[in-house]
Amino acid sequence: MTTEAGGVYAAAFRELYFDGESLLLYKRDRTASGHLSPGVSGPDEVIATLKGQLQELFDDCRRRAQEDPSQPDYDDWRIESLAGPFYEQIDGAIIEVYRYNYELHTTTPDKVMVAGGMYLDEDGWRSPGYPNCEYLYFLLSPEGELEYLYADMQNDCGPGDEFFRESLSENLQRLGVTGAAGGADIPQPVREAALAAAHDARERWQYDGQTPLEWVDQRLTRLELVDLSLYGKLPEGLRVEVYDFAYELQAANPGDVVLAGGTYVTEDGWVGGWSDETHMLVFQVQEDGSCVQLASRIPSDVFPESLAFPGSLAWTLVQGGVMEPSEASAQSLYYRLYEQPFTFLDELSAYPLGEQTAALEKLLSCPEADQDLAEGKGLLWDAIHSVQQGGGAPQTEGQQAALLLLLERIEGRS
């Protein structure tokens, strides 16, 4: 049909029905209830997730119409179809997939540009993309619970096709879903934080040597929960989770990548292995189960199995404001002083004198420090001598004051 505005072509959908005698042509009633067209149903969490996404899209379209009068305006939306579930199993992870089509209702059909697979019907309902090519993906836990992963559009393949599985596998790797056991326990905010860190690395590694690099994608190659049971007790009520992760960036010009310090590049242009990349994510777990990310103070060369890890983690919690220095374990304080003597003393000096004294007394109470004091050598003395000698840099007033306090506490033990 053509509207009076001229030049607006719309599709008129009709269905055939045989009543036993005649072949009838009729227009099916597709009036939506609660944004669901007749016959559309699915699990509550799937419907809620899809409704949330489409509401955001609808609001964005309304905003663009208000900002730009040439854009079509809309007054409603609906889920026109929902098919599934379809199941795919990738590396032990079971993924539940749903295919859907949605429509937006425009009040200005003369402003709608119809291209590709989209359509506009005679009543002003528009399918903005490729009909029935949009997908939602959920991770199915062993307990049968669904965890939303992501949404995408696939217009040349579908569940069961090899291309569909390849795309799904790449996205699961990018999100850090490595299997049913590992993936199901990793909260979505953690995945998002890891992906954000990988995305931030694009700018940090924009130049490799003198050659500008163009990064076209990023993906996670590792995202694992660290077992903290061996790293000392935390203050009562404080819950912390730490995730060890790694990522790769895909270069558009991999031939220009300069390999150094453990860096590698795959035949597909994926680059990883930077020696100073951030690889630890630290979260405080709230009472309601939500996670608040803390700025990690764990160096790139410190891993869970290293002696420096407990101290680096403890100082992350201290500087994150969720723990006092004296609440860290004695061993954590001891190894933190050895690994980062300048920053440890400087940052410790910012606390009240009573808290500084309590932290240093606790540090000196650990067996390793006690042995160092008895023998007159060891990591404790190495750290003290490093600060006394300055390491080529002048001491700050805070370092001097904290070091003097440490020496006084040592003197008081002799």
**52-66, 165-179, 352-366: range with lowest mean pLDDT:** 165-179
**43-57, 108-122, 320-334: range with lowest mean pLDDT:** 108-122
Q: What is the greatest pairwise CA distance in the chain?
A: 109
Please compute the mean of the pLDDT values over residues 321-325 and round it to a whole number.
93
Looking at the predicted structure, is the pLDDT value of residue 7 above 70? no
How is 267-314 classified by DSSP, letter by letter? TT-EEE--TT---EEEEEEPTTS-EEEE-----TT--TTSTTHHHHHH
Query: Pick the residue with more confidence: 345 or 173?
Result: 345
Q: For position 98, what pLDDT does the model report?
A: 95
**In whole angstroms, what is the distance from residue 350 CA to residue 61 CA?**
50
Looking at the predicted structure, is the pLDDT value of residue 209 above 80? no
Please compute the mean of the pLDDT values over residues 180-187 and round it to a whole number.
51
Q: For position 393, what pLDDT does the model report?
A: 58
Instruction: Give pLDDT tens digits for 216-234.
Output: 777 777 788 888 877 777 8
**In whole angstroms, what is the distance from residue 341 CA to residue 25 CA?**
84
Percent of the chain exceeding pLDDT 70 equals: 88
Q: pLDDT class for 185, splitting at 50, 70, 90? A: low
Q: For position 153, what pLDDT does the model report?
A: 92
Q: pLDDT class for 347, splitting at 50, 70, 90? A: very high
Q: pLDDT class for 89, splitting at 50, 70, 90? A: confident
Please compute the mean of the pLDDT values over residues 252-264 and round it to a whole number.
77
Please compute the mean of the pLDDT values over residues 91-97 and round it to a whole number.
83
Q: For position 116, what pLDDT does the model report?
A: 66
Q: What is the DSSP letter of 398?
A: H
Please compute the mean of the pLDDT values over residues 295-302 and round it to a whole number.
87
Please compute the mean of the pLDDT values over residues 94-116 and round it to a whole number.
86
C-alpha 81, offset from chain centre: 30
State pTM to two decimals: 0.56
Cβ neighbours, 10 Å, residue 293: 15
